[in-house]
């Protein structure tokens, strides 16, 4: 009995035999010839043995390469070749990734809760358990919230692919969640809310005018001294409030020309919408051209005209361009309404009654009213130079110059910025 039995089995043209799982090779039998190799075997027998082992190893390695190639081609077709994350399920019949109707709403709710900026992962975990009745760890929640799979993409072997599965969330929601992770959009909690905070700038050095509470009840505004010492004096909140109220007197618009301005604004909105539609068409055209290039390059790779490294590099670049165009398209298609956007009726209500409304409000409400009309306001402690929001900048210029002629160019801005000085 040889002390070195060979654990291999071959039949026919040196092809391995699979016995059970995993592969078990028990003896060497090649071309109806049985050869047992042991310690004292001849060199020729050992040489033949090495050849047969090399053939078997090549077969197994080639089989593995073919499996990996098949999986990679599946990924290139946009089908995720792994286990689907929560919110999806693997379809054993079609080999595709389907939306899990039971858990998909839960995933969307998790994204919406965190995007609000009101939750840390700890409080999100508690809220998810209270609302949805499912207990998830903080690390798992973070993994879900950062997973681009829910956006329609997946990563396989270090390469990102655009999947054929249905996205569960929009690009805007996903990017907003990432902004919250980066602490850019997290709410900043202050012990005291100052009515005119963020509205004033120092006329001496351009720094923000900040507010501070003294003796627990007196509010003063001063330069933040971001560029060193400044000569701007401390200003009492009541004095600031009285001066800012005078700014609102400069945006009065006669009712006789209100209809003309409304028509002008509506025409401007129509032009803006037309430009938006043109931009959408242009982005769609660029997206179609890019995807046609990607499809053609994939055909070139299959035909052997380009190598794997070049294809991977170009596809990664083009996928990044595709994501950028898709995000731009989503933004253009969305009906974006910025916070504080005013209706035409509200605009003229403010323009005609702003000062009267201002006098009837408390300090906090006055601050909100001013922020609806002004972008910011420079001050040297005695005078104010306001910068109005659109369309109040137009109304201010017309009121200052008495240019209520009813011309069709009422929506045009003046060629240069001018400021209104309000003396104390």
DSSP 220: E
The H-or-E segment that residue 311 falls in is helix 308-333
Contact 224, 210 (CB under 8 A): yes
pTM for the whole structure: 0.38
**For 248-280, what is each residue's pLDDT tens digit?**
877 776 766 666 666 776 777 778 888 888 888
Domain spanning 88-181, CATH architecture:
Alpha-Beta Complex (3.90)
CB within 8 Å of 228: residues ≥ 6 apart: 205
Distance CA 297, CA 305 (A): 9
Task: Copy the structure tokens of residue 120.
Answer: 């840390």
User: How many C-alpha atoms does 282 have within 13 Å on its Cβ side?
Assistant: 8
Q: What is the pLDDT of residue 416?
A: 42
Paired strand residues for 200: 377
**For 80-114, what is each residue's pLDDT tens digit?**
888 889 999 998 888 888 999 888 899 999 999 88
Distance CA 147, CA 141 (A): 10
Q: What is the pLDDT of residue 177?
A: 87
| Boundaries of every domain in the chain | 10-76, 88-181, 193-269+337-424, 270-333
Listing DSSP states for 174-195 in one string gives: HHHHHHHHTTSSPPPP-SS--T
Contact 56, 25 (CB under 8 A): yes
Task: Copy the structure tokens of residue 265.
Answer: 């604004």
C-alpha closest to that of 159 among 222, 74, 101, 238: 74
Distance CA 297, CA 304 (A): 10
Contact 346, 392 (CB under 8 A): no
Residues of the chain with pLDDT under 70: 1-35, 183-192, 253, 255-262, 265, 334-346, 348-350, 402-424
Q: What are phi and psi of 366, to 5 degrees?
A: -65, -40
Q: What is the pLDDT of residue 55?
A: 79
Rounded to 5 degrees, what angle do the CA atoms 331, 282, 291 make? 90
Q: What is the pLDDT of residue 183?
A: 64
Task: Indicate if the alpha-carbon torsion angle 291, 294, 298, 304 is positive or negative.
Answer: positive
Q: What is the pLDDT of residue 322?
A: 87
């Amino acid at each position: 009995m040889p002390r070195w039995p060979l654990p291999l089995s071959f039949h026919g043209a040196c092809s391995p035999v699979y016995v059970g799982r995993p592969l078990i090779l028990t003896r060497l039998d090649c071309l109806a010839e049985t050869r047992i190799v042991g310690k004292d075997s001849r060199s020729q027998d050992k040489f033949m043995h090495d050849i047969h082992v090399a053939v078997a190893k090549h077969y197994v390695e080639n089989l593995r390469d073919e499996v990996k190639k098949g999986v990679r081609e599946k990924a290139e077709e946009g089908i995720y070749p792994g286990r689907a994350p929560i919110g999806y399920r693997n379809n054993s019949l079609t080999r595709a990734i389907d939306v899990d109707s039971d858990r998909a709403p839960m995933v969307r709710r998790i994204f919406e809760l965190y995007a609000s900026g009101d939750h840390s992962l700890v409080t999100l975990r508690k809220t998810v358990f209270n609302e949805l009745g499912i207990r998830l760890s903080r690390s798992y929640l973070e993994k879900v919230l950062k997973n681009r799979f829910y956006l329609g993409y997946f990563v396989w072997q270090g390469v990102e692919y655009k999947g054929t599965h249905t996205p569960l969330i929009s690009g805007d929601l996903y990017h907003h969640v990432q902004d919250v992770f980066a602490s850019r959009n997290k709410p900043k909690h202050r012990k005291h809310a100052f009515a005119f905070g963020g509205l004033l700038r120092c006329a001496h050095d351009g720094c923000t005018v900040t507010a501070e509470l003294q003796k627990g009840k007196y509010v003063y505004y001063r330069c933040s001294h971001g560029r060193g010492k400044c000569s701007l004096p401390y200003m009492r909140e009541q004095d600031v409030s009285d001066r800012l109220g005078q700014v609102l007197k400069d945006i009065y618009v006669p009712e006789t020309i209100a209809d003309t301005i409304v028509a002008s604004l509506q025409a401007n909105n129509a032009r803006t919408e037309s430009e938006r539609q043109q931009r959408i068409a242009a982005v769609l055209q660029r997206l179609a051209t890019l995807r046609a290039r990607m499809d053609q390059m994939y055909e070139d790779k299959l035909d052997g005209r380009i190598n794997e490294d070049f294809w991977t590099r170009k596809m990664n670049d083009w996928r990044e361009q595709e994501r950028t165009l898709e995000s731009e398209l989503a933004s253009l298609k969305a009906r974006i309404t910025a916070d504080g956007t005013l209706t035409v009726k509200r605009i003229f209500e403010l323009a005609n009654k702003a000062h009267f409304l201002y006098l009837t409000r408390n300090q906090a409400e006055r601050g909100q009213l001013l922020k609806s009309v002004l972008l910011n306001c420079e001050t040297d402690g005695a005078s104010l130079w306001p910068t109005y929001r659109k369309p109040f900048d137009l109304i201010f210029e017309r009121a200052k110059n008495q240019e209520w002629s009813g011309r069709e160019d009422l929506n045009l801005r003046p060629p240069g910025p001018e400021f209104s000085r309000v003396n104390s």
